[in-house]
Structure 1
Amino acid sequence: MLLILVGGLIFGFGLGFSHMARPEVVINFLTFEDFGLLFVMFGGSIVAGIAFWTLPRLRDSAPLTGKPYGRRLKPFDRNVLIGGSVFGVGWGLAGICPGAAYASLGVGNWVILYAIGGMFLGAYAQGVWRSRNVTTNAAVPSDD
């Protein structure tokens, strides 16, 4: 748990230090006026890529859970397309992604609480919709 806390602190500090926790910087990126976010994402991708490539070669299992490493492939389906589109629209409207929204609180952006509240309500609504959909589909007999 300490490792997770330290990782989160480093992530949040990095977002604040690079000004990526400010919605106006993200909106400038989305309107092609400032490409600084591209370099931040590229740097994070390099670090993640190195970690995902080296850790399975150094250890047989994940350090926190003890579960063996394995690939989890999610199919590209309608839910991924719709969910990604809704996420992208929300990101564009709020001007900030969920991870940076929490870091934005650390730089004094209290207005972002509206967006964070919206994220929680949206996630709750999706969970209710998905669980209702599962119980409805379970009650319908299959054609098999």
Structure 2
Amino acid sequence: MKLLKYLFVGMVFGIILVKSEAVSWYRIYEMFKFQSFHMYGIIGSAVFLGVIGVALMKRSGLKNIEGHKININPKEKGFTRYLLGGSIFGLGWALAGACPGPMYILVGAGVFSMLIVIAAALLGTFVYGVIKDKLPH
């Protein structure tokens, strides 16, 4: 029964992203060409709400669904790693026309070519797992 809650929240989130056109390839293309504020507004409001949500979680001692306190570990510092990682993520987003969450939403909306993108993302994740110990972290 607990998993049905997650399924419901995921479906509502997917509907919201489709209706707001956040999964639209044309909106993403406009964003990367700096032709429209639409996606920047969506991303900016998500970041703003995320900052508020994390601050509230830290202050209130919120617990997860299993009753354990949510603990958010501090991230490692380093400008280069985030610049490089963000650039790779952005390149993949620009080439595929979707970031990881909307890939699944687009499949649900009938864009079955996203299955190729999902397969490539899974392959990339697997390859990273294999070579992770050899990379400078």
Q: Per the shorter chain, which TM-score range?
A: 0.7 to 0.9
> What is the identity, as a one-letter code, of the residue corresponding to 1:126?
Y
The residue number in structure 1 matching 2:65 is 64
User: Structure 2 stretches of 5 or more lacking a match?
Assistant: none
Q: TM-score, normalised by structure 1?
A: 0.76
TM-aligned CA distance change 1:121 to 1:46, over 3 Å = same
Which ranges in structure 1 are unaligned for 5 or more consecutive residues?
A: 138-144
Deviations 1:45-104 (A, max 9, x none): 23222211222322x243235135344222226544433322221111111111111111
2:91 corresponds in structure 1 to 89
Report what 2:113 is aligned to: 111
Distance in 1, matches of 2:105 and 2:118, equals: 11
Larger relative contact order (C-alpha < 8 A, sep ≥ 6)? 1
| 1:1-144 matches, cutoff 5 A | 1-2=2-3, 3-58=5-60, 60-65=61-66, 66-76=68-78, 79-131=81-133, 133=134
Cα distance in 1 between the residues matched to 2:47 and 2:81 = 25
Kindly tell me the number of residue pairs found equivalent between the two proteins: 133
* Cα 1:7–1:56 shift into 2, 3 Å: farther
Runs of 4+ in 1 over 6 A off after TM superposition: none
More moved, 87-96 vs 48-57: 48-57
- Compared CA separation, residues 115 and 63, structure 1 to 2 (3 A): same
Counterpart amino acid of residue 41 in structure 1:
I
What TM-score, normalized by structure 2, do the two folds share? 0.80
Equivalent AA in structure 2 for residue 31 of structure 1: K
The change in CA–CA distance for 1:83 and 1:49 in structure 2 (over 3 A counts) is closer
Q: What is the distance in 2 between the residues matched to 1:79 and 1:45?
A: 20
The one-character-per-residue Cα deviations of 1:11-62 (angstroms, maximum 9, x if unpaired) are 212111111112222112111222211111122223222211222322x243
Identity score, percent = 26
